[in-house]
Structure 1
Amino acid sequence: MLELKQIHVQFGDKQVLKDISITFQPGEIVGLVAPNGTGKSTLMNVIMNYLTPSQGKVILNNELQYSNKTNEVKIHQDVSMMPDQSDLYNHVSGKNHLKIYQAMWNSDPKLIDDTIVQLGMESYVKKKTGTYSLGMRQRLCFAMQIVSNTQVMLMDEVMNGLDPTHVELISQILLQKKSEGKTIIIASHLLENLEQYADRIFFMKNGELKLVDEMATGFNEEKVTTIRVSNFSQEHLEAFKKQFTELEVKMLPNGKTLIDVSEHKIALLGHITQYLISQGLFDFSFGTVTLNDLYSMEYQQK
């Protein structure tokens, strides 16, 4: 278990992290979402003790803190962060990178070959990383994180540069690691993918964490709560509100319009469908508020 207690980071007059207190549990995947420069990487650097917070504590398993070098070594035996592509040595093979990480964390050597096969890296893993494409380098960085086999794994933009096939493959490996009891914290801009496997997702804004489950009615509910409409003009909006005065309608900066039907009977959906078609609006769907919708509400300007 990893706990952050009243973490505060300030650079000059700017509060980057503000009194963040949160507990990350074993067997949990937590997503962090925000535009660049809003604190995701800062939070991960605090967890790794690469950055000392202005105040607050990082606590592992209810006892270990970054109070001295000995404790830092002990914590880093159980907490690791996925390397960046800039950390790779171009003159060293992918397999030797994996051997380095296996030796550093004294993990099971069998993990090296298992991970190579699982990620489909056999054809190039013995070549120098300077010859790798962006996607190959990213898979290697992920493989190094997996080979470390720590209890807590931090990953910043793990899907960067990957094609859809490998995005799905890595998503399945993440779920496998979750089933093994790992705690995984992922910062990602690939929102639809993050929704598929994260147990909790937080937006970061103004130095604080906001749990998305609490941000919108119907998010993560297994029933129709929202009608999402494209090409909904201001004129359409005004006419719709006159016809359905009891419904809440929200136009988003991403071009979608959300009609909240969470508190209304299913029969109303038919009436809304007929009305939208009569107005020449055919591009609409029934479902729930998506993570992309919430991101647009929170961060984008119309």
Structure 2
Amino acid sequence: MIELQNITVEFAGKKVLNDISITFQQGEMIGLVAPNGTGKSTLMNVLMNYLKANRGSLTFKDGLNYSSKSKEVKIHQFVSMMPDQSDLYNHLSGRDHLKMFATMWKSDKKLIDETIEALNMGHYVNKKTGTYSLGMRQRLCFAMQIVSNTEIMLMDEVMNGLDPNNVEVISRILMKKKEEGKMIIIASHLLDNLEKYADRIFLFKEGKLVDADEIVATFSDSALTTLRVKNMPEHVKQALLQKYPALSAQTLVNGMTLVSLGAQGQDTLSDITAFLVESNLPEFIFGNVTLNDLYAMYYHEVV
């Protein structure tokens, strides 16, 4: 468990984290989404005590906090952050790094070989990391955190530079760890992947953490809530809204228009479909607001 109360971090008078109060629980996968420089890494550094908050309190299980060095040592026995590629020692092998992390966190050494196999690292793990590609180094950094086997795992852009196959492999491992009761907090720009696996997703805005469901109330709804229309002319959009005043619409920076359907019946949906076809707009689908949509709506840019 992590409980944040009124956490505020300021740099040169600007509040990067602004009075954040929230609780994260074990067994949750938390997604953090935002453009670079908006607070994701700052929040993780506060959680690790690499950066002190200007105001507020941070509490872990059993009431532990960072009020002393001895308590910090205790917290870091069950909280870890995925290392950065720059933290690797080029003269050591990947296996050396995994042994080092397993020893530091006193985890089961069997995890080393299990993780090597799961990530398909066997053909290079005994080579010096100075010979690794960026993707190999990224997998090693992820493997190092997995073998630490801590209760709480923080990951900043864990999928960076990985191909789709490795993204899927890592996602499966993360889901297994979540099922084991780990808390996993991930900052990522791979929004489709994050939307698929995260239990809760938060966006940063003006230093605040905002739940995706607070931005679009139906974001987690399994029902059809949205009509997505590609390249919809403004005059057609206005004609649609005039004909069906219960609808609302927003055109994103990528040219996609999202029409919020509300509680429309099947007959109305059929009428809307006919309207779009008659308006020569064949590229549309009924579905939900996606995380990519939400990002474009909130930040007015496309990932």
Instruction: Give TM-score scaled by structure 2 length.
Output: 0.97
Q: Which moved more, 1:112-121 or 1:55-64?
A: 55-64
Relative distance call for 1:181 and 1:108 in structure 2 (3 A) is same
User: Corresponding residue for 1:81?
Assistant: 81
Instruction: Write the distance in 1 (CA, Å) between the matches of 2:248 and 2:42.
Output: 37
Instruction: Write the distance in 1 (CA, Å) between the matches of 2:35 and 2:13.
Output: 20
User: Corresponding residue for 1:141?
Assistant: 141
C-alpha contact 1:218 1:262 (8 A) present in aligned 2: no
- 1:60 Cα shift? 1.0
What CA deviation, in whole Å up to 9, does each residue of 1:172-230 have, x standing for no partner? 11110000000000001110100111000000110100000121132111111101010
User: Corresponding residue for 1:7?
Assistant: 7
Alignment of 1:256-295 (within 5 A): 256-295=256-295
Structure 2 residue identity aligned to 1:279: S
Q: Secondary structure at the match of 1:209?
A: strand
C-alpha contact 2:201 2:211 (8 A) present in aligned 1: yes
What CA deviation, in whole Å up to 9, does each residue of 1:101-131 have, x standing for no partner? 0011010000000000011100110111111
Q: Secondary structure at the match of 2:282?
A: coil
User: Corresponding residue for 1:34?
Assistant: 34
C-alpha contact 2:229 2:284 (8 A) present in aligned 1: yes
User: Corresponding residue for 1:50?
Assistant: 50
User: Corresponding residue for 2:201?
Assistant: 201
User: Corresponding residue for 1:218?
Assistant: 218
Instruction: Write the distance in 1 (CA, Å) between the matches of 2:140 and 2:272.
Output: 50
Q: Which moved more, 1:105-114 or 1:257-266?
A: 257-266
Q: Which moved more, 1:114-123 or 1:246-255?
A: 246-255
- 1:22 Cα shift? 1.1
Instruction: Write the distance in 2 (CA, Å) between the matches of 1:174 and 1:42.
Output: 23
Instruction: Write the distance in 2 (CA, Å) between the matches of 1:184 and 1:154.
Output: 6
Relative distance call for 1:44 and 1:259 in structure 2 (3 A) is same
Q: Secondary structure at the match of 1:121?
A: coil
Does 1:115 pair with 2:115? yes
Instruction: Write the distance in 1 (CA, Å) between the matches of 2:113 and 2:58.
Output: 34
Q: Secondary structure at the match of 2:262?
A: coil
Does 1:100 pair with 2:100? yes
Instruction: Write the distance in 1 (CA, Å) between the matches of 2:300 and 2:62.
Output: 39
User: Corresponding residue for 2:247?
Assistant: 247
Structure 2 residue identity aligned to 1:296: A
Q: Secondary structure at the match of 2:264?
A: coil
C-alpha contact 2:295 2:301 (8 A) present in aligned 1: no
Q: Secondary structure at the match of 1:101?
A: helix
Structure 1 residue ranges (4+ consecutive) displaced by more than 6 angstroms after TM superposition: none
Instruction: Write the distance in 2 (CA, Å) between the matches of 1:144 and 1:212.
Output: 31
Instruction: Give TM-score scaled by structure 1 length.
Output: 0.98
Instruction: Write the distance in 2 (CA, Å) between the matches of 1:247 and 1:28.
Output: 35
Identity of aligned residues (%): 60
Structure 2 residue identity aligned to 1:13: G
Q: Secondary structure at the match of 1:223?
A: coil
User: Corresponding residue for 1:177?
Assistant: 177
User: Corresponding residue for 2:67?
Assistant: 67
C-alpha contact 1:217 1:262 (8 A) present in aligned 2: no
Does 1:161 pair with 2:161? yes
C-alpha contact 1:247 1:260 (8 A) present in aligned 2: yes
- 1:245 Cα shift? 2.6
Instruction: Write the distance in 2 (CA, Å) between the matches of 1:240 and 1:154.
Output: 45
Instruction: Write the distance in 2 (CA, Å) between the matches of 1:208 and 1:23.
Output: 14
Q: Secondary structure at the match of 1:175?
A: helix
Instruction: Write the distance in 2 (CA, Å) between the matches of 1:217 and 1:183.
Output: 25
- 1:301 Cα shift? 5.8
Q: Secondary structure at the match of 1:65?
A: coil
Instruction: Write the distance in 1 (CA, Å) between the matches of 2:102 and 2:242.
Output: 65
Instruction: Write the distance in 1 (CA, Å) between the matches of 2:140 and 2:40.
Output: 22
Structure 1 residue identity aligned to 2:262: S
Instruction: Write the distance in 1 (CA, Å) between the matches of 2:125 and 2:14.
Output: 44
Instruction: Write the distance in 2 (CA, Å) between the matches of 1:48 and 1:285.
Output: 43
Instruction: Write the distance in 1 (CA, Å) between the matches of 2:148 and 2:94.
Output: 14
